[in-house]
Structure formats: C-alpha cells, structure tokens
C-alpha cells in the first residue's frame, strides 16, 4: 500500500498522464483550433498548457497583420486546455486581453498558459503569447468555472492494468 | 460657400458616406474576417458597425460549440470597423469579453458595436453579440487608440463636387 | 384577485418599492460608502442605481487628484445597489474599469449603473461616472453572481395590506 | 569615469535607491492611501511594490466585509508605486480585478505588484492581494501609460557626490 492510496489528489505522474490524455482527446476533435487555425498542441499538464501557431495568410486582417481575434483564439484555446487538464469539464466565464505587439506573416506564436489560482470551481489562468524572438505579443487572463461532467470517462483514469 | 466649409466635423451625410467607404475598403482586404471566418459586413457608420456570422463546422471546438475565440473575433472585427469609421487609423489597445451563452452550429450571430466615448485619440466601444433568437451571446468592451495615417486616402474624402 | 397574483415577477410598482427599500437598508449600514467615502445614494431601482460623491481632501492621492481606487469604489458601490435591487443577495465576481479623465478637488461625481443582462444567477452591469460638467470620468463593467439569501426579509415584501 | 556613464539604464543599486526615494516621496503626500485608507508602504523597488493594509471598521460595507472598492484601492496604489518606480510620471489607463475571497475585520491584506512587461511608454502590472493566512483575496491587472515629467526632480537622481 502506497501513500498515494490515502491521498485525494492523484500522484503527480498520474495527474500528468491524465492531463496529457485529456489534452490529446480534446485536441483531436477541436476543429476550430486544429484545422481552421492550424494550431499545434505542444503540451497539456495539470494546470498548464502550451500551444503554438504560425501566422499564415488566412490569419491576416486588412492591415496585413494577424487578426487580434486569432491571437485571442490562440490564448483562449491554451486556456481551455490548461483549465480542463484535471478532467473536469470547465468553461471560460470571462477573459481580458492586452495586445502589445502585432503578429506578422510567418511569425511563430507560442502561448503558454499557467493557473494562478483554483479555488472550488473557479480558477484564474494567465496566458502569455510570445513570438519566435521572445517578444511578448499579448497577455490574456481568463476566469474559469467548472461545470458537470468529465472530458474523458473517469473509468479511463483508473485503468484496468494488471 | 456652405456652412460645412466652416465646420471641422464633416456634415452627417459626408460622415456616413466616409464611414461606409472606409468599411467597404477595409472589409475587401480583410482575409481573416471575410474569407477565413465567413463574416458579412452589414453596416459601417460613424462610430458604429454591424457584422454577422453564421456558425459553421469550421467554427466548432471540441465541445461542438462555436470556439469562444471566434465569438471574440466577430466582436473584435466589429470593433475595428466602428473605431476606424472616421478614417483615422485606429488600433485595439485592450479588450475584455464576457461569454453568456454558447453559439451552436447554424446559429446566426450578429454583433453590433457602438462607441461609448471618444476623447482625443482614445475611445471605448461596446459590442453586443446576439443570436437569431435575440439572446445575448457575449458582451465585449474594447479600448481604441488612434495612430498615424488614414484608412483610405484623405483626398478621396473631398470628392470632386464642383 | 389580481393579475399579479398569477405572475412570478412583482408588479412594476412593487419592484420599484422593493428596490428602494433594499437600497435604503443596504446604505444605512454601509460604513465604507456612506461614512468613509461620503457617498449619497440618489436612487435604487430594479436593475439600476445612482450614487453621487463630491471629491474631498480625503480622496486625493499624491498627484492631488481623486485616487482611482475611490472612483472604482464609487462605481463598485453603485454596481452593488443595482445588482442587489431585486432583494437577492448578489456579489461582484469581477470588474474592469477604464479611467478617462481625472477627478479634481470639489468635483461632483455621479455614477449611474444599469443592468445589461441578467440570466439565471449571473448579470452584467455597466456603470458610467460623470462629473458636474457631464464629462465621462470612468466606465466600469461588473459581473455579478447571486448567492443564497435576501437583503431584507422576504416576508417584508408581501406587506400586510388588507 | 564609471561604467554607468556608458549605460542608459542606471546601475541596479541606483535604480533601487531611486525607486525607494520615489516611493517615499509619493507616499508622503498620498492622503488617500496613507491617511484615509491606513495603508503602509512596505517596499518600492524598480517595477515592484508591496503595500499592506489592515481591514478596519471604516473599510466595511453593508455585508460587514471589506468593501471591494478598497481592495481595489489597495491594489491600485500598489500598481501606482510599482509603475512610477523609475521616476517617470505614469498613470493607470485601465484595470481589471477578480475578487476571490472576502476580507474580514482585522485581516491583514498584503498586495504585491510586479511588472509583467514594459515596452516604450506602456506597461502591464499584476497585483496579488493575500491575507495573513496566505490566501489569495484578489488578482488585479493594470495597464500603465507614462506621461510627461518625473515624480522627483531628475537632478536629485544624479546626486552631488564628489
């Protein structure tokens, strides 16, 4: 019998494994992020996620820079993966974004999202979007609310490995 | 010589005509809004704009609802048209959004944006996204900052009236 | 038997009367707003409130203008009265403010708060702070969440009219 | 001739000393923060500040908890000290706050503010308010804009050391 048998929180490896599987499952059916926007899920860990997107023609607005809405979308997707990473269905309640620099054609934008607080069903997550030169493009803050249900079946967590 | 020759503000009709031409010019080259998202510019008036978008497969996230980032993008585009409508190049400095209801496949989302204040180079604009049943989907507030330059050549404003 | 006996919403006069009594009750014990800040509750109606505050020495920061926090406090109090006006205990979940002009010593700041949406337990309220010249000082947006309980005893609503 | 004669940024000790003097100077005349609210300036460093406030009777609203506006005010003051710490006059352009837990009578609230980005004249600062048990009470994000002038005379920076 191990110590983790007594704890309510999954052991770190289990939590990381669960987050990774939740992320892969969500991403596989996320047409908007994967197919329409062309994002790549770099990592999904407990309370954290990283997503990358290269600015292509389809992202350009009339000023020939990346539409701010798509920078928001990149951050919002990262937020979704970070706050669903515990396998509790979680939705965005509100978000704010500050745009600091434009994204240009060919720029590789990386968004890293980190949980700031999670208390009961509500959490605050901060996303930072940087370009390939390490410049901060945007800062996004999201507020999450857990709802009913899980992303992947809970039985899948337990596994039935011998 | 007409009264408008003395005034600094264009006459209302001229302002409306200018806003309409600015909107059409911006929209024609806005790949992101027009082609990628499938938006339709309904109107662009001084300090106001309306844009419409039907939720299609390409907009769906892993929960099979419209990606919140695309609802933001609809509002952000509407914001851009409203705050550029005076033909002064204007950018978004920061935005916040509150998501109130999801958008489902086939929903027709209409975003109306209205200027709340414009003082010097800075303005505040409020966007409301509703669905075909009149339900409010999201509220967005944007802060704008005018930069140098115009959207369409200023000479085009004067026209060639005798 | 009157029509209102069948309806779930109180009749307009009853709703207005309830809102007024809720406002007076809340304000009477609101040391922070009334005594510390010197605010005056102008009106409390269903989904709306107006509060006024004159900028005094005690409100000045190191720049000798009204501390932005106290302009926020004026708006936040107005928000509280507007969102509690239905006599359901309601708290602020998050707020954003845009500061547009400073408040100077002697300025009379009036904040008007109006409900934008109320859906289930969550609402969005917009506050506008103006000075005695009608200039907009700040725009505030608050998100509310109803919790358990009422501001004044519910039996007090029914009255004991014959 | 010293190395700092070649650099545009002041040497770290000088920057820290300048920030400390700017903080003390600002705080000494900040009636709102010091006298009205009873705050204590714990530290003011380049791009950072810490302010503490004990919740007293005067801070209580009608729910007998600390008025959210005063928690905002604590964060807004901390923001002001952090963003003015380089001795460039800097104002708040916009702020958002998320309230996570109430502050009760006697609670000691500590706000720590940290610069996230500073690019040209615009910066983003994050404030975290915690209570004496280390619980997060609120998260605040402020956007700053440098304006003309300095907080203390620039000649005072140079000193007159031999």
Q: Contact, C138 vs C98, CB < 8 A?
A: yes
Q: With an 8 Å Cβ cutoff, is A30 touching chain B?
A: yes
Nearest chain A residue to C97 by CA distance is A96
Nearest CA to CA, how far is D38 from chain B (Å)? Answer: 32
Give the residue ranges of DSSP H helices in chain B: 12-28, 31, 68-83, 155-158
Mean pLDDT (chain D) is 90
Asked if the model's pLDDT at residue D138 lies above 90, the reply is yes
Nearest chain A residue to D101 by CA distance is A119
Q: What is the dihedral of CA B98, B100, B102, B106, to 10 degrees?
A: -100
What pLDDT digit, counting tens, does each position of D75-126 carry? 999 999 999 999 999 988 889 999 999 999 999 999 999 999 998 889 999 9
Report residue B23: phi and psi, to 5°.
-60, -45
Query: In a 3-state reduction of DSSP, which class is residue D64?
Result: coil
- Going by the DSSP 8-state scheme, the letter that residue C120 receives in this structure is T
Residue contact B100–C124, C-beta within 8 A: yes
Q: With an 8 Å Cβ cutoff, is A62 touching chain B?
A: yes
Give the up-direction half-sphere exposure of residue A2: CA atoms within 13 A in the CB hemisphere.
Answer: 4
Report which of A120, A111, A127, A154 is spatially closest to residue A25, judged by C-alpha positions: A154
Asked if the model's pLDDT at residue A161 lies above 90, the reply is no
Between A7 and B140, the more confident residue is: B140
Supply the pLDDT for residue B94: 86
Q: How many residues does chain A have?
A: 162
Does domain D11-149 sit in CATH 3.40.50.720? no
Pairwise CA distance, residues C66 & C58, whole Å = 9
| All residues at 6 or more sequence positions from B5 whose CB lies less than 8 Å from its CB, including other chains | none
What is the ipTM score, two decimals? 0.87
Supply the pLDDT for residue A143: 93
What pLDDT digit, counting tens, does each position of A43-80 carry? 999 999 999 999 999 999 988 999 999 999 999 999 99
Q: With an 8 Å Cβ cutoff, is A99 touching chain D?
A: no
What pLDDT digit, counting tens, does each position of D40-83 carry? 999 999 999 999 999 999 999 988 999 999 999 999 999 999 99
Query: In a 3-state reduction of DSSP, which class is residue C35?
Result: helix
Give the up-direction half-sphere exposure of residue C121: CA atoms within 13 A in the CB hemisphere.
Answer: 11
Q: Contact, A102 vs A138, CB < 8 A?
A: no
- The whole-number mean pLDDT for each consecutive block of 10 residues of chain B, a chain of 162 residues, reads 45 92 96 97 98 98 94 98 95 90 97 94 95 96 92 65 40
Angle, helices A12-28 vs A68-83, to 10°: value is 140
pTM (predicted TM-score)? 0.87
For B4, the token pair is 């408008």
The architecture that CATH gives domain C10-147 is: Roll (3.10)
Per DSSP, which regions of C47-148 are E strands? 48-54, 90-99, 108-119, 122-130, 136-146
Supply the pLDDT for residue D120: 85
Supply the pLDDT for residue A154: 83
Report residue A82: phi and psi, to 5°.
-65, -40
Report which of B27, B51, B120 is spatially closest to residue A63, judged by C-alpha positions: B27
Tell me which chain D residues have a C-beta less than 8 angstroms from the C-beta of B143: 93-94
Residue contact A58–B72, C-beta within 8 A: no
- Enumerate the domain spans of chain D: 11-149
Supply the pLDDT for residue B42: 98
Tell me which chain D residues have a C-beta less than 8 angstroms from the C-beta of B94: 94, 143
Please give the average per-residue pLDDT across C66-80, as a whole number.
97
Supply the pLDDT for residue B7: 45
Asked if the model's pLDDT at residue A10 lies above 70, the reply is no
Supply the pLDDT for residue C63: 86
Q: With an 8 Å Cβ cutoff, is D94 touching chain B?
A: yes
Q: Contact, C51 vs C29, CB < 8 A?
A: no
Asked if the model's pLDDT at residue C42 lies above 80, the reply is yes
Tell me which chain B residues have a C-beta less than 8 angstroms from the C-beta of D143: 93-94
Residue contact D69–C68, C-beta within 8 A: no
C72, C80, C93: residue with CB nearest D73: C72
Residue identified by tokens 């009149």 is B134
Tell me which chain D residues have a C-beta less than 8 angstroms from the C-beta of A126: 126
In this structure, how many other beta carbons lie within 10 angstroms of the beta carbon of residue A74? Answer: 29
**Could you tell me which CATH class the domain B9-149 is placed in?**
alpha beta
Asked if the model's pLDDT at residue C54 lies above 90, the reply is yes
Supply the pLDDT for residue D6: 44
Q: Contact, D87 vs D22, CB < 8 A?
A: yes
Supply the pLDDT for residue B154: 83
What pLDDT digit, counting tens, does each position of C81-105 carry? 999 999 999 988 889 999 999 999 9
């Amino acid at each position: 019998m191990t110590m983790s048998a007594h704890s309510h929180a999954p052991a770190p490896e289990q939590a990381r494994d669960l987050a990774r599987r939740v992320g892969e499952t969500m991403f596989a059916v996320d047409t908007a992020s994967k197919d329409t926007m062309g994002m790549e899920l770099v990592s999904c860990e407990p309370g954290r996620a990283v997503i990358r997107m290269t600015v292509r023609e389809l992202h350009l607005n009339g000023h020939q820079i990346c539409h701010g809405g798509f920078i928001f979308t990149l951050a919002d997707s990262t937020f979704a993966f970070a706050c669903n990473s515990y396998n509790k269905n979680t939705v965005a309640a509100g978000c704010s974004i500050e745009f600091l620099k434009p994204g240009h054609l060919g720029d590789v934008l990386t968004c890293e999202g980190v949980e700031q607080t999670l208390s009961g069903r509500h959490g605050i997550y901060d996303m930072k979007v940087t370009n390939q030169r390490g410049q901060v493009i945007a800062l996004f803050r999201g507020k999450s609310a857990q709802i009913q249900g899980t992303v992947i079946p809970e039985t899948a967590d337990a596994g039935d490995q011998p």
